[in-house]
Amino acid sequence: MTTDAAGSDVGSLAARFPTDFRWGAATAAYQIEGAVHEGGRGPSIWDTFSHTPGRTAGGDTGDVAVDHFHRWRDDVALMADLGLQSYRFSIAWPRIQPTGRGPANEEGLDFYSGLVDALLDKGIRPVPTLYHWDLPQALEDSGGWPERDTAFRFADYAGLVTERLGDRIPLWLTLNEPWCSAYLGYAAGVHAPGRTEPTAAMAAVHHLNLAHALGAKAIRAVSGADTGIGAALNFHLPRPADPTDPRDLDAVRRVDALANRAFLQPMMEGRYPDDLICDVAGVTNFDFVRDDDLDTLTTPLTTLGINYYSSCVVRHYDGATPRATADGHGDGASPWVGADHVEFPPTAPPHTAMGWNIDPSGFTELLVGLSRRYPDLPLLVTENGSAFHDRVDADGRVRDTERTDYLRRHLGAVADALDAGADVRGYLVWSLLDNFEWAYGYDRRFGIVRVDDDTQERTVKDSGRFYAAVLAAHRSRPGTR
Ligand code: FCB
């Protein structure tokens, strides 16, 4: 029997997953690559934003990040040592098209092509995300996501990447968390490009959905109609402060509409929720939706990517000044467009270093709920993980018991969802490496592998050892691929 550092039985945890369940880790280009001026890369909105004083903690930027652009061979070797079967990374659009338009920059394609080959060599399945928030700055200068043309530029980019990599990619993820791109980027302004324009944010929602669909079509035009396509959505799991108060239940409905159904429904059913359209009527009349867009939106997904970290509590709010959190990063402009009468009271402890509550049962609920709603759609956990303030012990080891515990409980939650009939095909932990955590800079560590700030040295944390032990136990089961 295999046991992890804390002595618990990883064998019985691993035995709860089907033999063809796939394990891996996730990262994103701007958070790890660095080398922002190398390989012909153009500037992205995150370069501009992180270099604007006051936008990120300590003025941190992704200029160097964790130097993955130069260390990727070692990082792939590390993944193989951990026993990963899948690796989700993102492709930096400004490495492929430095200004977001025009022919591909071959050096950029070479970089990702080399990475894909190295992964395949080690038996690790590459799962690229085409857009993890690093819009070429030139496209933002032309209006960004509130501008319809950006969706068409994304489709061109998706086609260029597929022409080069498509023969080796079984599953593409188009967008990562369009909720963040639209609402944090254009309403709350806490993510790049830092705008606080609610009407523009709603247009961004639509153009991101359109980009997803047009991108999927462009991929399939190159790689065939059966090509695996998904998107990674960050579902919110709002719980009512008082489940008997109809106003709190209505707050739940609003948050669900803005956060979840604004993306899932167009992608799956080709339409926007009627209640969402009413809720935001004071902000927009949806005139950015053109007649044939709704037909375009429904491009069959083969996989739905789920990013889950925590749940939230919501209640009706009568005060005069709108309040934002969950997670608009504080009480500045709200990401919750048209939801001035919703507030997010504090959640019960425990919390991670992000201030997010730890709620594994919410994870099970979410996975089971989605599988019931869309029974033919396989689910893939594209992100799940936790930030804690790690300490390196004198012997060099990182005994991150809280992260290990978070991981164990959330893997248990996925197993519970499987038991309840959810069709979950795999799990990708966030994140392989400590990295640039957006507005929080390097102050929040999510890695199962520590990265030393000064030397860039990688050290597998206890959580990484635990994860590797689960994967090894799973692999040793008869019939495991
Ligand atoms: C998600 C992002 C990912 C990372 C984690 C902690 O919202 O997709 O890049 O920042 O949160």
pLDDT value of residue 340: 83
Residue 5 has pLDDT above 60, yes or no: no
- The answer to whether 452 and 389 have CB atoms below 8 angstroms apart is no
Residue 31 has pLDDT above 70, yes or no: yes
What phi, psi does 29 have (nearest 5°)? Answer: -55, -55
Q: Which amino acid makes up residue 250? A: D
Task: Reply yes or no: is the peptide bond before residue 350 cis, omega within 30 of 0.
Answer: yes
- CB count in 10 Å sphere of residue 361: 13
CATH superfamily of 10-475: Glycosidases (3.20.20.80)
Cα–Cα distance, 44 to 27 (Å, whole number): 17
Ligand 1 mean position, distance from CA 244 (Å): 33
pLDDT value of residue 1: 44
Cα–Cα distance, 389 to 33 (Å, whole number): 22
pLDDT value of residue 318: 84
In terms of Cα–Cα distance, which of 388, 385, 329 is closest to 353? Answer: 388
Residue whose entry in the numeric block shows the structure tokens 């037909």: 295
Residue whose entry in the numeric block shows the structure tokens 């789920």: 306
Q: How does pLDDT run across 150-174, given as a tens digit for each residue?
A: 999 999 999 999 999 999 999 999 9
Ligand 1 mean position, distance from CA 47 (Å): 17
Q: Which atom of ligand 1 is nearest to the CA of 438?
A: 10
Q: Are strands 379-383 and 458-460 parallel, antiparallel or unpaired?
A: unpaired
- The answer to whether 294 and 271 have CB atoms below 8 angstroms apart is yes
In terms of Cα–Cα distance, which of 340, 190, 336, 367 is closest to 262? Answer: 336
- Ligand 1 pocket mutation pick from 27, 263, 437 by most atoms within 8 angstroms of CB: 437
Residue 327 has pLDDT above 80, yes or no: no
pLDDT value of residue 338: 87
Could you please report the per-residue DSSP string of 14-33? Answer: HTTS-TT-EEEEE--HHHH-
Q: How does pLDDT run across 264-285, given as a tens digit for each residue?
A: 999 999 999 999 999 999 999 9
Ligand 1 mean position, distance from CA 388 (Å): 14
Q: Pocket around ligand 1: residues whose beta carbon is below 6 Å from it? A: 28, 31, 176-177, 180, 234, 307, 383, 430, 437-438, 446
Q: How does pLDDT run across 332-363, given as a tens digit for each residue?
A: 788 999 888 899 999 999 999 999 999 999 99
- The answer to whether 248 and 314 have CB atoms below 8 angstroms apart is yes
For the chain, how big is the Rg over CA atoms in Å? 21
- Ligand 1 pocket mutation pick from 430, 436, 448 by most atoms within 8 angstroms of CB: 430
Cα–Cα distance, 349 to 60 (Å, whole number): 29
pLDDT value of residue 8: 59
**Considering only CA atoms, which residue is closest to atom 9 of ligand 1?**
28
- The answer to whether 75 and 449 have CB atoms below 8 angstroms apart is no
Q: Are strands 238-240 and 171-176 parallel, antiparallel or unpaired?
A: unpaired
Ligand 1 mean position, distance from CA 11 (Å): 29
| Three-class DSSP category at 128 | strand
Active site positions, annotated: 177, 383
Residue 312 has pLDDT above 80, yes or no: yes
Domain residue spans of the chain: 10-475
pLDDT value of residue 465: 98
Distant-in-sequence, close-in-space partners of 343: CB < 8 Å, separation ≥ 6: 251, 314, 315, 316, 317, 319, 323, 325
Cα–Cα distance, 68 to 449 (Å, whole number): 13
Distant-in-sequence, close-in-space partners of 46: CB < 8 Å, separation ≥ 6: 30, 62, 133, 134, 192, 438
Q: How does pLDDT run across 61-80, given as a tens digit for each residue?
A: 999 999 999 999 999 999 99
b (16+ CB within 10 A) / e for 377-413: bbbbbbbbbbbbebeeeeeebbbbebbbbbbbebbbb
Q: Which atom of ligand 1 is nearest to the CA of 177?
A: 8
Cα–Cα distance, 236 to 359 (Å, whole number): 12
Across residues 303-309, what is the average pLDDT? Answer: 98
pLDDT value of residue 423: 98
In terms of Cα–Cα distance, which of 276, 148, 239, 145 is closest to 201? Answer: 145
* Alpha-helical regions (H) of 1-124: 10-14, 29-32, 45-50, 68-82, 93-96, 106-121
- Ligand 1 pocket mutation pick from 46, 60, 177 by most atoms within 8 angstroms of CB: 177
- The answer to whether 178 and 266 have CB atoms below 8 angstroms apart is no
